[in-house]
């Protein structure tokens, strides 16, 4: 297992992060415990959950499974989604942030959260209110680092600027959807994270199982999967070339003697700005396959094949500025 710094901050996390969205939804407590045990035994020191996963049950299961091993892991959770029917039971107001963290700490059986994510954008709350509340939680020692998920680039840049100008703790990580068939983040968010030193911790790196080997090109629904249950399958975000990408992945995997899931994860782990990929599973058997993506490097030729088939068309203004380095160099007339 490789350990990487989370952006510019000092903490190091495993390149694979155990995702727990299935805990309480597909994985019962016994299976969840098996997966936590397996992940820690294989070198994973990074666990991702959220207050809304399983209506709070995922956090409960994680807390019970970790027990006395709490300090062995970098534990991340999230807030935003409704945790009740009241007007202040969701969002990113100061009131909800404080209540949400208190509830998460109780469910996780811990005194602190290592990484606390804003799960989504709340357009009804000033970003200053959210960031000051999070800064207070860091000052109190209840949160070590803060981060966000699913933010557009301009909102992420704005939040970083507000934190910096006010002397508050700022985001150290960003959690986007990113996979071979969802590469939109490369156009603005990857360059922003590289420029500002944020670590990317990616969700759905196997596109809801589409890249796991359970599907064939042209097949977007499979029995006993998320697509079959209409639950957390991100097919609507897939690029138009998704089936061609899957076909190439299956072919490369067969030639390399690796599972499609391992190749798809390894490709992602070698992308710029990516610190870790969140791997979630319903069973320990599925998780074991995913963990096989750690500790090795994908050959340059294989990376290039997967890059080409999954590449998105350039958008404006990137399309206009793409060759600017060469244009600048060619504009210089050297003496003689």
Enumerate the active-site residues: 53
65's CB contacts (< 8 A; 6+ apart) are 32, 33, 36, 37
Task: For residues 84 and 51, give the distance between their C-alpha atoms in angstroms, rounded to a whole number.
Answer: 11
Per the structure block, which two tokens stand in for 70?
């709490």
Per the structure block, which two tokens stand in for 26?
């597909």
Pairing outcome for strands 199-202 and 113-118: unpaired
Say whether 28 sits in a helix, a strand or coil. Answer: coil
- HSE of 66 in the Cβ direction (CA atoms, 13 Å)? 25
The beta strand positions in the chain, using DSSP E, are 3-5, 12-14, 16-19, 46-48, 74-79, 113-118, 143-149, 171-175, 199-202, 274-279
Say whether 109 sits in a helix, a strand or coil. Answer: coil
At which residue do the structure tokens 């782990």 appear? 269
- HSE of 29 in the Cβ direction (CA atoms, 13 Å)? 9
């Amino acid at each position: 297992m490789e350990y990487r710094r989370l952006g510019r901050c000092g903490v190091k996390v495993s390149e694979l992060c155990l995702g727990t969205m299935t805990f309480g939804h597909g994985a019962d407590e016994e299976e969840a415990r098996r997966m936590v045990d397996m992940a820690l035994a294989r070198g994973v020191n990074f666990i991702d959950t959220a207050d809304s996963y399983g209506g709070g049950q995922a956090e409960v299961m994680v807390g019970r499974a970790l027990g006395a091993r709490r300090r062995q892991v970098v534990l991340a959770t999230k807030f935003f989604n409704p945790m009740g029917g009241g007007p202040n039971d969701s969002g990113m107001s100061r009131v909800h942030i404080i209540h949400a963290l208190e509830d998460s700490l109780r469910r996780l059986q811990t005194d602190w959260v290592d990484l606390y994510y804003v799960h989504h954008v709340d357009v009804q709350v000033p970003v200053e209110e959210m960031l000051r509340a999070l800064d207070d939680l860091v000052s109190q020692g209840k949160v070590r680092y803060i981060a966000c998920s699913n933010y557009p680039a301009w909102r992420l840049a704005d939040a970083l600027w507000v934190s910096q100008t006010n002397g508050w703790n700022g985001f150290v990580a960003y959690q986007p959807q990113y996979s071979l068939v969802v590469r939109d983040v490369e156009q603005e968010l990857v360059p922003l994270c590289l420029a500002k030193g944020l670590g990317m911790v990616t969700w759905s790196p196997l596109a809801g199982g589409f890249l796991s080997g359970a599907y064939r090109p042209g097949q977007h629904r499979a029995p006993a999967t998320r697509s079959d249950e209409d639950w957390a399958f991100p097919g609507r975000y897939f690029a138009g070339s998704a089936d061609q990408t899957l076909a190439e992945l299956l072919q490369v995997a067969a030639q390399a003697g690796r599972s499609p899931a391992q190749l798809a994860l390894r490709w992602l782990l070698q992308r710029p700005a990516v610190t870790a990929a969140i791997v979630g599973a319903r069973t320990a058997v599925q998780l074991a396959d995913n963990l096989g993506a750690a500790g090795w490097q994908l050959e340059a030729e294989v990376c290039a094949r997967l890059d080409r088939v999954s590449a998105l068309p350039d958008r404006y203004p990137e399309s206009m500025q793409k060759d600017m380095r060469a244009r600048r160099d060619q504009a210089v007339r050297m003496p003689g």
